[in-house]
A and B are shown apart, each in its own frame.
Chain A
Amino acid sequence: MMKRRTLILSGLGAGAALVVGWGAMPPRSRQGGADTLPVVDGEVGLNGWIKIAADGSVMLAMHRSEMGQGVHTALAMLAADELDVPLASVRLIQAGPDKLYGNVAGFVGALPFHPRDSEPGQETRSVKTGQWLVAKLARELGINMTGGSSTIADAWDVLRLAAATARAQLLGAASLRWRLPVDELVIIDGVISHGSGQKAHFGEFAKAAAATPVSTVMVKDAKDWKLIGTPAPRIDVVAKTNGTAAFGIDVRLPNMVYAVVRHCPMLGGSPGAVNADAAMKLAGVERVVRLGTFAGSTDALAVVGRTYWHAKQGAQALQVEWQAPPVGVLASAAIIKALEDTARAAAKEQGGLAFHSRGDVPAAVKSAARTIEQVYRAPYLAHATMEPINCTARVTGEGAARRVEVWAPTQMPGAARAIAARAAGVAESAVSVHVTYLGGGFGRRLDVDFIGQAVRIALETDGRPVQLVWPREEDITHDFYRPAGVALMQASLDAQGLPTSLSVTSAGDAITPRWMARAIPALAGPIDAPDKTTSEGLFDQLYDISNQRIAHVATHSGVPVGFWRSVGHSHNAFFSESFIDELAFEARQDPVAFRLALLTDAPRHAAVLKLAAEKAGWSTPLAAGRARGVALHESFGSVVAQVVEVSLVDGRPRVHRVVCAADVGIVVNPGIVAQQMEGGVIFGLSAALFGRIDIEGSVVKQTNFPNYPMIKMADAPRIETHLVASSRPPSGVGEPGTPPIAPALANALFALTGKRLRELPLQL
């Protein structure tokens, strides 16, 4: 039996457990001193987040990566609102490697607590203790991660307080200089003024402000917000419509060369003997580099050339004797069959790790009128970010003078720095990491394998910068895949067909311990440390069924697995929300009414579901040949319901309309939330209708968009987003739109055809 404390700490692995027992001090402040930010040209730092330029403009340390989810805009809004400056005038500067910028909320969110025990403000004692401990650890470790839909939740208090403190200091300095009471001063568009006619921009007071101590600083009341809650235009949109937005792959440096990677076709295989003669004869091909392994990558070759095209031709011309992987041949069909066997065997003996238990399932089963049992399946998936995997690196100097520069679209700048240092054999202090825009992340860029590869190549290019680009085929065939998953769903029913117990036994590979081992090895724990992501979406939903056992068996399938937008929820929501629909059918009840009856203790969820149903006209008739389906799901602290309208065109599902309702806590920017819900739906629809990675003989069969297709314009539904007003602290936005779409569609297809689809992708 897993000890509770071990379970609590699993979010941070065993490394974290070493420091348990240290200190009872509260977590350190995340404000940072006035000297945290480097300054030039008369700039003045006020804290770790804000500095003021000589012209009075506000410069904000941007610690998170922009990959489409809108955080550069939303974070700037938090600062601009507190400082009363126009959003467009906030200048973003990349935050450095200070631990100040580590993600705390993301790691606290990885704790496997049930939402009933961790409702903000009403946490149980043990939840509070666990959260406090992990928050403190995360603050000390300072891991900069953009992921887990955690950016705004993490920055909400920290950044507003930093900006409010800066504001108080600036006003205090003006008050002293002008000898006027501080409460008579106002800030309008970044200019401090007084009724007497005194007026000056922040730059005039920045130096004095930095020396002005402040006592109690209060952030603004919600009623005083000017930006928060508005659909302010994104600050990156103009650059993203005229070709000037610079992604990693757009980095251009003097004398730069390009490199193209070629991995063994078999996952885990490596190059043996290499004949590079044909490749080296090609014009524009410069050299071949054997890469070695970095942060979970498999050994591979790279060809350096004058352009990507030259390097790609060289890579294709290499004659390589590939060596099969040292252990076993991977086959996805056999793996999925084995997962099913594992889940069935575990279910028989109440096995697996129970993430949630209540009541007495065996007793409920014994006294039930009947039971139902179904197996659900989900395949491996690739991320397929639009911007291919790439990284630019330059290594200059020798010995102690060696310096490494990296330009990367990464969700993990600190881990990028660490792997770059390892690859070049230097201290981390000799590495600078420039984070570019990310052309999509979806979790793929939480891994830093390609960064180590780029630095390795740069060791061979005589100080010239090199841009490593993975061809799309390398990306699809050498990803860290969304793990395949299987769940045995069991319920017992009373004489009316109502559920008296729910038992879920799922099986699949855990992601978090494997990811930690490759991306943040210093903190990695045992590979079988409990991982919330395996069971999230199954154990943490709020339907009031009195007897439940929700367990997972962590397996060792051997396929490289990684975080994929919404992670465990991406398939577990399909399992849980399809099965709830099956239970509604068994009870001969309307799917919305059935759910609402199980949500009497979950008013937030009920409100979201009701809003979606109302806006979708759930009870109104549809045109012949169309049907609706619904799903409700909590993930990353947010609750989303979706109603799908579907018909069949040439025997294939055609989704016409998706109505999405969400409670994401306080909404910082409703325009961005709507974008993310739309994006989450379409991302999830590609997976629901087409997404599958098949592995045969350790070779991934899908290679590029023609055989790993995506939703396109002609397939895209109309999507409406409706938000529930909330005063809860902000919760996740980037991922929660994805989980409900597959079950909502499957449920709609059941309503339309009577056929229950229990496997992804959905095929009639």
Chain B
Amino acid sequence: MELSINGQMRTLNDAAVDPAMPLLWALRDVLNMTGTKFGCGVAACGACTVLVDGQALRSCVTPLSSVAGKAVRTIEALGTTEKPHALQAAWVAHQVPQCGYCQSGMLMAAAALLAKNPNPSDADIDAAITNICRCGTYPRIRAAIKTAATALRAK
């Protein structure tokens, strides 16, 4: 099976995967791309959020068969150390993460939001960010999304 992940075609050994296997486990346990997290397994917490053709999807319930031929983007390719995504820079500026476990999913959900909506209102953010953070970083995430949106609009 072939998958387009972060702009590269990745071949998954057919013996190792199954079309019904959720994308999350192909990323984490087959490709060892551990930036995308497992939280609940039932699409409730959003820790596993990735972009599939630009849409935020919960990879723990997204079977591999449904992403064939589509572009998957994960936290590993949101930005680079030299050139972080505006969201990552804003996350650092606002000192968002505590334990950090949910942040990959939060960032990917926020990236999908900003790609569609360059100037999200509080209500837009509430509707788009339905991920769970047990450390309670929501107020800082909200502020960081607005900072990133402003930075991106200025570009």
Contacts and interface: CB of A to CB of B under 8 A. Distances in A.
A, B assembled together? yes
A252 B27 CA distance: 12
Contact of A469 (B18, B38, B98, B125): B38
Interface in A279-313: 283-284, 306-309, 312
A386 B28 contact: no
Contacts of A719: 139
Interface in A693-752: 704-706, 710-714, 716-719
Interface in B84-117: 84, 88, 91-92, 95-104, 107
B138 A440 contact: no
Contacts of A243: 34-36, 74-76, 78, 104
Interface string B111-155: 000000000000001110111111111111110000000000000
B11 interface: no
B42 interface: yes
A309 B78 contact: no
A691 to B, nearest CB: 12
- Please classify the interface of chain B as helix (H, G, I), strand (E, B), loop, or mixed, using the class held by over half of its residues: loop
A241 B38 contact: no
Contacts of B141: 713
A442 B134 contact: yes
Nearest to A390: B38
A676 B136 CA distance: 9
A747 B130 CA distance: 28
Contacts of A593: none
Interface residues of A, number: 67
Nearest to A243: B35
B129 A309 contact: no
Contact of A242 (B21, B79, B95, B98): B79
A705 B39 CA distance: 10
B92 A241 contact: yes
Contacts of B32: 252
B95 A683 contact: no
B51 interface: no
A237 B91 contact: yes
- Please classify the interface of chain A as helix (H, G, I), strand (E, B), loop, or mixed, using the class held by over half of its residues: loop
A437 B81 contact: no
A713 B142 contact: yes
Contact of B132 (A245, A675, A705): A705
The CB with the most chain A CB atoms within 10 A, among B74, B98, B102, is that of: B98
Contacts of B91: 237, 241
Interface residues of B, number: 59
B87 to A, nearest CB: 8
A238 interface: yes
B29 to A, nearest CB: 4
Contact of A678 (B44, B129, B139): B139
Given A242-B78, A386-B133, A705-B132, A716 B100 contact: no
A246 B100 CA distance: 10
Contacts of B40: 472, 704-705
Contacts of B44: 704-706
A32 interface: no
Given A237-B91, A309-B21, A68 B98 contact: yes
A679 interface: yes
A242 B42 contact: no
The CB with the most chain B CB atoms within 10 A, among A69, A312, A671, A716, is that of: A716
Contacts of B41: 312, 471-472, 704
A678 B99 contact: no
B38 A388 contact: yes
Contacts of B1: none
A247 interface: yes
A440 B88 CA distance: 21
A250 B34 contact: yes
A242 B134 CA distance: 19
B13 to A, nearest CB: 10
A713 B130 contact: yes
A70 interface: yes
Given A671-B95, A713-B129, A241 B138 contact: no
A67 interface: yes
A378 interface: no
A680 B92 contact: no
A440 B134 contact: yes
B26 to A, nearest CB: 8
A307 B30 contact: yes
Interface string B36-55: 11111110110100000000
A384 interface: yes
A472 B136 contact: no
A180 to B, nearest CB: 41
Interface string A433-455: 00001111110000000000000
A717 B21 CA distance: 38
Given A710-B134, A713-B130, A68 B99 contact: yes
B136 A242 contact: no
11 contacts: A240-B103, A307-B28, A385-B99, A386-B39, A387-B99, A387-B101, A438-B99, A675-B137, A676-B98, A686-B134, A716-B142
Across the A-B interface, give the 9 residue pairs with the lowest CB-CB distance, nearest first. A243-B35, A682-B136, A439-B101, A240-B100, A68-B99, A68-B98, A307-B29, A716-B138, A243-B75
